[in-house]
Amino acid sequence: MIYLDHNATTPMHPEVLTAMLPYMRGPCGNPASVHHAGRAARQGMDQARRQVASLIGVHDSLVCFTSGATEANNLAISGVGGMQKQPGHAITSRTEHPSVLEAFGVLQQQGHRVTFLDCDPQGLIAPESLQRHLTPDTFLVSIMHANNETGLIQPLAPLAALCREQGVLFHTDIVQSIGRLPWDKEAIAADLITLSSHKLGGPMGVGALVMDRSLALTPMIIGGGQERGRRAGTPNVAGIVGFGAAADWLNKHRQETVASMTRLRAFLETGLSEKIPGLVIFSHNAPRIANTTLLGIDGLHGETLVMNLDLAGIAVSSGSACASGKGEGSHVLAAMGVPKSLALSAIRLSIGWNTQVQQLERFIHQFAHIVARLQGGATVR
């Protein structure tokens, strides 16, 4: 199989599995236990917490482990909402991940006012738009760093600065950006940051919310004192250790990984554009993370393209994995003003740490022939 769906999940690094195996084979104690097995589990978690914190340059005490990015996004939004003594105002964008959009919907149900910011045709949020909508009772702004469908990089620094000036908490989901472009903690200065293990080459089912020490979020899961009271429940020790190992690997290899992805994506997009007339690359004229291409061909259907590629042994997606199979157009492309017929043709190609140029050569050849066949026998250049 040629695997080009790393934005959905990326295969684990061999080093990650090696780090996890001792905690999977056992004996692995509960990290809350004081005996030797419990202390060993706690030590594994403590090391992982330091490794994840180091990845984005924060103190390890700020890292709260969760079951994944969806829970971390929910905890950030509902936790800040729960801190409010009366209904207030929160802001996000129309192009966010569903775990953010639906959490803001819950804020609305709880009586808070919510503003969903519009974007330009590339998907960018103008700082002026955010500034216009900030009000004295705005308590939270949530804008993702890199879009999971288009790969567009949102210019967070001016958005975060506006929030800081107004005393508004700023949350960002960096699930797709970390490891795919340089991370500038000082420029972004977010109060809450969402991370995911399985987008870094770690195991599924583990994520983290990094938050300022001063925040006393209302927890979503109660019944224990784990994670400093921010998230109750016995932790997934092996998964957390794997998350830490993936973060450590990425910290050591980030520069070369980003450089390789950048070269491979340029090769991929040039080859596709030369062979397929009418190909559209969404957000092409805006900064994008190094590994992501969302493309469309008007008149074809994305799900049909995905199935044909699957039969050829190539794994891609028709957009966000969280929305796959719904048969609806992308809400991100709709927010960007993309016509529905073109939006429905979209497929997402995302490369990763183990992608090879030979795989992309085969993909370009196969995809061009599939498109030509579906279009009724058009000649492939």
Burial class, 5, CB count within 10 angstroms (exposed 0-12 / middle 13-18 / buried 19+): buried
Q: Which of 197, 228, 249 is the last residue of a domain?
A: 249
For residues 347 and 285, what is the distance between their CA atoms, to the nearest angstrom?
18
- One domain for residues 171 and 31: yes
Q: What does the pLDDT read at residue 378?
A: 52
- One domain for residues 160 and 263: no
Q: Does the residue 327 lie in any domain?
A: yes
- One domain for residues 206 and 262: no
pLDDT tens digit sequence for 312-323: 999 999 865 455
pLDDT tens digit sequence for 256-302: 999 999 999 999 999 999 999 999 999 999 999 999 999 999 999 99
127: which 2 tokens? Answer: 């700082």
- One domain for residues 242 and 267: no
- One domain for residues 82 and 203: yes
- One domain for residues 342 and 205: no
CATH of the domain at 264: 3.90.1150.10
Query: What is the band of 28 on the pLDDT scale with cuts at 50, 70, 90?
Result: confident
- One domain for residues 220 and 314: no
Q: Does the residue 128 lie in any domain?
A: yes
Q: Does the residue 381 lie in any domain?
A: no
- One domain for residues 185 and 322: no
Q: Which of 214, 249, 284 is the last residue of a domain?
A: 249
How many Cβ atoms from other residues are within 10 Å of residue 85's Cβ?
5
Q: Does the residue 130 lie in any domain?
A: yes
H-only helix segments in the chain = 14-25, 36-56, 69-83, 98-109, 127-133, 156-166, 185-188, 237-275, 302-311, 331-335, 340-343, 357-374
DSSP state of 352: -
CATH of the domain at 162: 3.40.640.10
- One domain for residues 46 and 119: yes
Q: Does the residue 57 lie in any domain?
A: yes
- One domain for residues 231 and 293: no
Q: Quick one: average pLDDT of 46-59?
A: 96
What are the catalytic residues?
A: 322
Pairing of strands 292-296, 280-281: antiparallel
DSSP state of 152: B
- One domain for residues 245 and 264: no
- One domain for residues 289 and 206: no
Q: Which of 249, 270, 295 is the last residue of a domain?
A: 249
Give the range of the structural domain holding residue 113, as residue numbers without chain letter.
14-249
The torsion angles phi and psi of 257, rounded to 5 degrees, stand at -65, -45
pLDDT tens digit sequence for 107-164: 999 999 999 999 999 999 999 999 999 999 999 999 999 999 999 999 999 999 999 9
Q: What does the pLDDT read at residue 111?
A: 97
